[in-house]
Copies of this chain bind each other. A is one copy, B any other.
């Protein structure tokens, strides 16, 4: 699970010493050796078909950021949400769409999305293949808030 901090605490403090050595995580079919693929959040929340893998930053590293891979199954979507922390997303697999405020953008391999602070956003997979992307965030970050359509 992620550890979220209150939005008053954004900004990393003194760097902790890394507790792990250098390593190579091998990927095969968009799964990484030794990295568990977990369902994202609780099923009751407003998302569907999202799998999360933690690639770096949450396993003893001391980076000021976390690198995760998310995969959205066909027909699935992430929560429509907002938060102060920013997202940097790089698409690795398939195609999907990202909503940024009122605009929707189709994206594919290599396309890079920056989600600015407080921007309501959602990722969707309306295709027939998995839609997978890296999502990099500050290690210390505020908790997302669900956005309700008006």
Interfacial residues, chain A to chain B (CB-CB below 8 A) = 10-15, 17-18, 20-27, 30, 32, 55-57, 61-65, 67, 86, 88, 90, 92, 98, 100-101, 105, 107, 109-117, 119, 121, 134, 136, 138-140
Contacts and interface: CB of A to CB of B under 8 A. Distances in A.
B112 A24 contact: yes
Contacts of A18: 86, 116-117
A116 B56 contact: no
A101 B24 CA distance: 13
A66 to B, nearest CB: 9
Nearest to A25: B112
A27 B116 contact: no
What is the count of identical protomers in the complex? 2
A63 B92 contact: no
A24 B107 CA distance: 8
Residue among A61, A65, A109 with the most chain B CB within 10 A?
A65
A64 B114 contact: no
Contacts of A107: 24
B56 A88 contact: yes
Contact of A114 (B14, B22, B116): B22
A26 B63 CA distance: 27
